[in-house]
Amino acid sequence: MASSAPTKVLVVDDQPGILEMLALLLRKQKYEVMTAECGSDALGLLETETPDLIISDVQMPEMDGWELFKQVRLHPTAGSVPFIFLTGLSSPPNRVRGLKMGADDYISKPFDSEELVLRIQRCLERQRHRGETIPGGRSEIGGQLGHLSLIDIIQILELNKRSATVTLGRDSDTAKVYLKEGRVEGININGDFDVRRFYQLLLWENASFSVSEYVDEVPPMNRVAQPARELILESARIEDESRKPD
């Protein structure tokens, strides 16, 4: 009878000593460990590997843990992977920020090794109970706009040249932003296809969002291939114009 594959854990920390200590601790628990010293290196590993769990520091050069978390949540295969912040930022506001962003846990340094192992086990068990495959991504990622704004989402998709459908919901309103290979192809707000209305979506507060596979449903007459940065700049211009006195 073949044994099951070992659980993969990606550990991200810019301090080699802590990275080595965590790797040793996790390997003693029979986990397969991958390591990265910054957020950008971690994203590079995700191009070829999908871990079962990501443990990341917050304060790192180049790309900090907050930004790494945002990028991971929009990743095509790692979007649903459990994410734990393990950091020296122990103040309540930082902890609240991490949990509000959607992290699965927030653990302060210095940490107790036994407690860390138990919390990792609990995090993985919760993931299994959700009925999701571990490892593996999901076709849809979602949450509430807040720490992750619509501009953040669009820019990350553009940067990675992703094809996706971003769906927004607010009260009785529904909107979709269609991106193909990182370029905005169309916008649908309550059934009206008009890419010029993008600026209106930036005003939506307390909206839910989901990022799912690209759906080809933009009518040819309404289809564009516009860089997201152009839409964002145009939206800023429209907002500035609206603030000018008559």
Local mean pLDDT, 10-residue blocks, the chain (246 residues)? 77 93 94 95 94 95 91 86 90 85 87 91 79 43 76 83 90 93 92 87 86 89 85 76 65
Query: Does residue 17 sit in the same domain as residue 68?
Result: yes
Residues 71 and 153 in one domain: no
What are the E-state strand segments in 147-242?
164-170, 173-180, 183-189, 192-193, 208-213, 226-227
Residue 135, preceding peptide bond in cis (omega within 30° of 0): yes
Supply the pTM of this predicted model: 0.64
State whether 36 and 124 are in the same domain.
yes
Containing domain of residue 99, as a range?
8-129
Q: Structurally, how many domains does the chain consist of?
A: 2
Which H or E run contains 9? strand 8-12
